[in-house]
A and B are shown apart, each in its own frame.
Chain A
Amino acid sequence: MSDNGKGLSEVLSKHEADLQADWIKEQTAGSARRTGAIKEVELRDQCKEFLGLVIEALQGGGDLDVRGPRWNPVRDLLANLSRSRGLQGFTPSETASFVFSLKKPLFARIRRDLSKDGEAMAEATLAATVLLDGLGLYTTEVHQKAREEIIARQQQEMLELSTPVVTLWEGILALPMIGTLDSARTQVVMESLLQKIVDTASSIAIIDITGVPTVDTLTAQHLLKTVTAARLMGAECIISGIRPQIAQTIVHLGVDLGDVTTKASLADALAVALERTGRAVRRVRAGS
């Protein structure tokens, strides 16, 4: 089977220019190409480079194992292409059709060149199928991997985004929580709050849960643990942003928030915090 790729290699080298032209036509005509998403020039370069590299990889033996080292340059090209198309919002099948659309023009050339030798034709067709299927699947794989990387990065970003500890006043911190309070995030929240308490030598921390859609027993437990830890470090916590429906739910759940100060709004909590630190806000002139 070692000369599997020989006939294919000959067809490819002989018709390189024609194949390229037909292939591009195939891609621009088919629904595979998003109109305007990829420039004609860019596509031409990609096709030319791909064909050149495939011919090179097939040279001197018919190694059709696309995972082998011989195919490294081709795989690199496809990986780049797949990534850039993935970023442009192409679907995996749109990306893979870059490779698959070569089948039609290639098969046509094989048929024309090798029609006299049935066995050689069958062999070259099989080789072309094995090769293009392998490479096409590879683009899908890269595409998916790129997507997964994007998702992982976004998750990481969300983790960091959602835990800003802000200084409201000297000695008064606020932690506006947003979204789901599940264990991984709550850990980060707790750590950043406790660290900020140390850094700013604050005595009061307001945890605002206006942006937390559901407060169940696990959320409540996390909140209480945070409050306890802050207290051990000498800071008092106020929980604010408890909406009416959340308050009712907490009561029915039977969760006891103990002696934690709670307020309906962040403004109320700030007023309490200012008072506890010996300050008051006073109007200096009649406002509008």
Chain B
Amino acid sequence: MVVSKDEIMEIRASDHVVLVRQAVRKWSTELGFGLVDQTKIITAASELARNTLDYGGGGTVRLEAVESGGRRGLRLIFEDQGPGIVDLEKALTDGYTTGKGMGMGLSGSKRLVNEFDIVSRVGEGTRVTITRWK
């Protein structure tokens, strides 16, 4: 996989979630994503950025324009140094939440993208990587 362009954005306040959505919209448009694919990755980014902020205590997102086997895609890596997720399986269950949300964000974003990877260590932080191919 070749990364042709990348950028790191801070997620420290709720305004930053809006900025992340706008950046993802811009990048996916540039990559030539269709309207549905655009909306899907923007929505997933919105969910994960908010998780980074609300549950991870803030962090960063790394946007990467990637290419592999003639396909182009957008990869987003959300990282925080928060408390980490104790039970990943539970966290990925529809409707489960430790906060006030619907409990659909993490599992929902997994369904909105082609590739989804989550690494979390209690006390160290969480990293979620998603990729949507064109």
Q: Which residues of A come within 8 Å of B, CB atoms?
A: 180, 182-183, 213-218, 220-221, 244-246, 248-249, 252-255
Query: Cβ of B73 < 8 Å from any Cβ of A?
Result: no
8 Å CB contact of B112 from A220, A246, A252:
A252
Select the residue from B36, B43, B101, B105 with max chain A CB neighbours within 10 A: B43
8 Å CB contact of B108 from A180, A183, A248, A253:
A253
> Which 4 pairs across A and B sit closest by C-beta, in order of nearness?
A253-B108, A245-B39, A216-B46, A252-B111
The answer for the CA separation of A214 and B21 in the assembled complex, in Å, is 9
The answer to whether A248 touches B18, judged by C-beta atoms less than 8 angstroms apart, is no
Query: Cβ of B94 < 8 Å from any Cβ of A?
Result: yes
How many B residues have CB within 8 A of the partner chain?
Answer: 25
Query: Cβ of B47 < 8 Å from any Cβ of A?
Result: yes
The answer for the CA separation of A213 and B28 in the assembled complex, in Å, is 14
- Chain A minimum-CB-distance residue to B50: A218
8 Å CB contact of B102 from A213, A217, A249, A252:
A217
Q: Which residues from A are CB-within-8-Å of B108?
A: 217, 252-255
Q: Which residues from B are CB-within-8-Å of A214?
A: 21, 39, 42-43, 46
The answer for the CA separation of A214 and B17 in the assembled complex, in Å, is 12
Query: Cβ of B85 < 8 Å from any Cβ of A?
Result: no
A260 to chain B, nearest CB (A): 14
The answer to whether A246 touches B107, judged by C-beta atoms less than 8 angstroms apart, is no
Select the residue from B25, B101, B104, B107 with max chain A CB neighbours within 10 A: B104
The answer for the CA separation of A151 and B112 in the assembled complex, in Å, is 35
The answer to whether A217 touches B14, judged by C-beta atoms less than 8 angstroms apart, is no
What are 24 of the A-B contact pairs (CB < 8 Å)?
Answer: A180-B18, A182-B17, A182-B18, A214-B21, A214-B39, A216-B47, A216-B105, A217-B105, A218-B101, A221-B101, A245-B36, A246-B39, A248-B39, A249-B43, A252-B108, A253-B47, A253-B104, A253-B108, A254-B104, A254-B107, A254-B108, A254-B111, A255-B104, A255-B108
Query: Cβ of B40 < 8 Å from any Cβ of A?
Result: yes
The answer to whether B111 touches A248, judged by C-beta atoms less than 8 angstroms apart, is no
Q: Which residues from B are CB-within-8-Å of A213?
A: 21, 25, 42
Q: Which residues from B are CB-within-8-Å of A245?
A: 35-36, 38-40
Q: Which residues from A are CB-within-8-Å of B109?
A: 253
B48 to chain A, nearest CB (A): 10
A248-B36 contact, Cβ under 8 Å, with A214-B43, A254-B111: yes
Q: Which residues from A are CB-within-8-Å of B104?
A: 217, 253-255
The answer to whether B101 touches A217, judged by C-beta atoms less than 8 angstroms apart, is yes
A145 to chain B, nearest CB (A): 20
B114 to chain A, nearest CB (A): 12
A169 to chain B, nearest CB (A): 32
Select the residue from B36, B39, B40, B101 with max chain A CB neighbours within 10 A: B39
Beyond known contacts A249-B43, A253-B109: 14 more, CB 8 A cutoff: A182-B14, A182-B18, A216-B43, A216-B105, A217-B105, A217-B108, A218-B46, A221-B101, A245-B38, A252-B111, A253-B108, A253-B111, A254-B94, A255-B102
B95 to chain A, nearest CB (A): 8
The answer for the CA separation of A220 and B21 in the assembled complex, in Å, is 16
The answer for the CA separation of A216 and B104 in the assembled complex, in Å, is 9
The answer for the CA separation of A249 and B111 in the assembled complex, in Å, is 9
The answer for the CA separation of A142 and B25 in the assembled complex, in Å, is 36
The answer for the CA separation of A226 and B107 in the assembled complex, in Å, is 24
- Chain B minimum-CB-distance residue to A184: B14
- Chain A minimum-CB-distance residue to B24: A214
Q: Which residues from B are CB-within-8-Å of A246?
A: 39
- Chain B minimum-CB-distance residue to A183: B14
Q: Which residues from B are CB-within-8-Å of A220?
A: 102
A273 to chain B, nearest CB (A): 27
Q: Which residues from B are CB-within-8-Å of A183?
A: 14
The answer for the CA separation of A143 and B105 in the assembled complex, in Å, is 42
Q: Which residues from A are CB-within-8-Å of B39?
A: 214, 245-246, 248-249
